Amino acid sequence: MSLMATNKHKPRIDGPDILRGISALSVIVVHIIGNSGLKFPYFIEKVGGHFTACVTFFFAISAFSITYAYGDNVFSRDKFRDFYLKRIFRLAPLFYLAFIVEALTVYILYDHSPNPLATILSFSFLFSLVPTMQDSLVWAGWSLGIEWLFYIIYPFLICFVRTKKTALIAWGISCYISVEMLKIDSQYAGLYMNILNHMPFFISGILAFLMMPEMLQIKHKLGNKANFASLVVLFVVAVYLLSYFYADNNSISLYVTYSIAWFVLISVSLVGFPIFLNNVFTRFLGKASYSIYLNHSIVILLLKLTGFFTYLNQNVASGVWVFCISMFIVSTITLLISWVTYHYIEIPGMTLGKKTVTYKLTNLKHTD
């Protein structure tokens, strides 16, 4: 399969979306461990602390989704403009709301106002280009800067990455660059929050798209066994990743390990999932994953300020139960808020983006 675009409307694919939603919940684990002040068993802290890898899974799924939706259909002036307009209206409304809420929270609690330059860079999504400001003023928002840079280079990237062969070559080169970057004497955050560092994951998503016809053939051949086969592969990959997270030393680079894992997971999600993984709730998680990702940090902060986590530490003896209770409470509150922001911020933003594109297209036709 090559990247030959079509203007036909493409149906939404549930599998990758479901994985995105599960990944969004997994990121909550990382920030509960790191920011709540709670005490957990060693295994939970060791393994859960590595769930930061799920952010790189977002990158792979995002690349798959963008390639599936657009292919190389961005090269005309109109399509190029429409692509970026839709991306802006997809990301900006909720990001700006999160910025305002978090800036007000910090100002009220700590009497601190955001840096004007950092504010401008945040609103333009270009903060990841400035080494000292890559972390974003929006909590956990650094990945949005990386993703926006991917959107910028996407039209140029697919000029070269158009077949499975070129995708594999690009993946190999990007893995080499990422591994070599770790040898640079620099602050880890500055290197980690660099798009070059994450290109293997984006390219693995593009490769998963290029393998889509083969995966659909496998789905057809497996028939009723397709969902079970996907579940087995999902289980094997999950066990391997958990063991990888727990190991003190791994001989295989995380760039290779994660990008291959994400490629496999996206690919098997195209084959299908059983109903307990593909249902109304999990599909909602996928649709609202952006809200979940941006909302959970403020929920953790507010619960910490109210003393909820301190109460858990003092009154629940089992570290496992502390983790389960805190994860349940944070996730539940986050999901409730995310339902609201998805329906009243994200959907209206996407609708406005589509209307803007349609309006400009209509005006251009009248002009012609």
Residue pLDDT, tens place only, 302-312: 999 999 999 99
pLDDT of res. 5: 47
> Cβ distance 150 to 204 under 8 Å?
no
In the block, residue with structure tokens 């289980």: 235
Q: How confident is the model at residue 101 (pLDDT cuts 50, 70, 90)?
A: very high
Q: Stretch 102-116: mean pLDDT, rounded?
A: 90
User: pLDDT at residue 124 above 80?
Assistant: yes
**pLDDT tens readout for residues 138-149:** 988 899 999 999
Asked if residue 354 is part of any domain, the answer here is: yes
Q: How confident is the model at residue 130 (pLDDT cuts 50, 70, 90)?
A: confident
Instruction: Give CA–CA dist 22/294, Å, rounded.
Output: 14
Please provide the DSSP assignment of 166-225 as one string: HHHHHHHHHHHHHHHHTTSSS-HHHHHTSHHHHHHHHHHHHHHHHTHHHHHHHHHHHGGG
Range name among 19-33, 109-123, 194-208, 335-349 with the lowest pLDDT average: 109-123
Asked if residue 6 is part of any domain, the answer here is: no
Asked if residue 3 is part of any domain, the answer here is: no
109 Cβ neighbours under 8 A, 6+ residues apart: 305
User: pLDDT at residue 226 above 90?
Assistant: yes
Residues 285, 290, 294: CA angle, nearest 5 degrees: 115
- What is the distance in angstroms between the CA of the first residue and the CA of the last residue of the chain? 36
Asked if residue 5 is part of any domain, the answer here is: no
Tell me, rounded to whole angstroms, the distance of Cα 344 from its chain centroid: 21
Residue numbers of the domain that contains 72: 14-367
User: pLDDT at residue 77 above 70?
Assistant: no
Is the Cα torsion angle 290, 129, 260, 34 positive or negative in sign?
negative
pLDDT of res. 365: 53
**pLDDT tens readout for residues 243-297:** 999 999 888 999 999 999 999 999 999 999 999 999 999 999 999 999 999 999 9
Q: Stretch 313-333: mean pLDDT, rounded?
A: 96
Please provide the average confidence, as pLDDT, over all residues in the chain.
91
How many folded domains does the chain comprise?
1
Asked if residue 137 is part of any domain, the answer here is: yes
pLDDT of res. 187: 61
Asked if residue 312 is part of any domain, the answer here is: yes
User: pLDDT at residue 135 above 70?
Assistant: yes
